[in-house]
């Protein structure tokens, strides 16, 4: 495949994943609340369970508070820049198209979660009464009215690169009771989004298919 076609392929692939990721997040954020019950997607083992987190993939953080959040966002921006540079370099070197698809998954996923933290505080109304928006130790005290009673809560900081990441998918399945050390525990308790899934798929493709990608 020609280099220009590979650039176009990567761009279109990233754009499609980003659009799908953001459509799902905005729909969930507009239709569910912090106390909405989980809903089955595929039987009882794969459910929609809306939550928000201040971190990146699967709720990973770099500490709490303003400094940790900014450090995480800056790390994400640097990572995205590095991936873009690497993809451009790989296209020029004529790597296999499948490898570019794997890299596109990772780039799209990282960018999708960055969009949440960068823009969502400007798109959606901030409510300090929502548990997702409360952060102990932030020092940002705000008034909150619950059941007709006004009280102070410590809310997270808001603004560019400080927003939460919207998550909604969860595997609600447990290890069999007889499984040593794991019996009765959830197989994968993290709540995630399409962007997280894209990152995971891209990394797994590289790990599983590395001999094909790096046959030199």
Helix ranges, the chain (H): 3-31, 65-92, 97-123, 194-208, 210-213
Catalytic residue among 21, 116, 121, 196: 196
Question: Has 172 been annotated as catalytic?
Answer: no
Given the residues 21, 116, 121, 167, select the one marked as catalytic: 167
Residue 54 neighbours by CB distance under 10 Å: 22
What's the sign of the alpha-carbon dihedral 194, 200, 203, 206? negative
Q: Which residues contact 168 (CB under 8 A, 6 or more apart)?
A: 24, 25, 28, 32, 48, 49, 50, 51, 191, 193
d(CA 107, CA 56): 13
- Determine contact, residues 109/195, Cβ cutoff 8 Å: yes
Q: Can 196 be counted among the known catalytic residues?
A: yes
Q: Are 206 and 90 in contact (CB under 8 A)?
A: no
Q: Is 150 helix (H, G, I), strand (E, B) or coil?
A: strand
| Residues with catalytic roles | 167, 196
């Amino acid at each position: 495949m020609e280099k220009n076609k590979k650039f176009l392929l990567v761009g279109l692939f990233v754009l499609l994943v980003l659009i799908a990721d953001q459509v799902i997040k905005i729909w969930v954020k507009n239709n569910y609340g912090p106390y909405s019950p989980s809903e089955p997607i595929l039987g009882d083992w794969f459910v929609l369970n809306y939550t928000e987190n201040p971190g990146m993939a699967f709720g990973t953080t770099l500490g709490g508070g303003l400094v940790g959040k900014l450090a995480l966002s800056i790390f994400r921006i640097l990572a995205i820049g590095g991936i873009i540079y690497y993809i451009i370099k790989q296209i020029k070197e004529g790597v296999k198209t499948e490898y570019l698809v794997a890299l596109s998954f990772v780039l799209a996923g990282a960018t999708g979660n960055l969009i949440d933290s960068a823009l969502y505080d400007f798109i959606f109304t901030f409510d300090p009464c929502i548990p997702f928006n409360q952060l102990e130790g932030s020092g940002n005290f705000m008034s909150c009215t619950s059941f007709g009673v006004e009280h102070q809560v410590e809310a997270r900081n808001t603004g560019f690169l400080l927003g939460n990441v919207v998550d909604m998918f969860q595997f609600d399945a447990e290890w069999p009771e007889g499984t040593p050390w794991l019996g009765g525990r959830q197989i994968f308790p993290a709540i995630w989004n399409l962007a997280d899934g894209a990152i995971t798929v891209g990394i797994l493709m590289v790990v599983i298919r590395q001999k094909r990608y790096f046959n030199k």
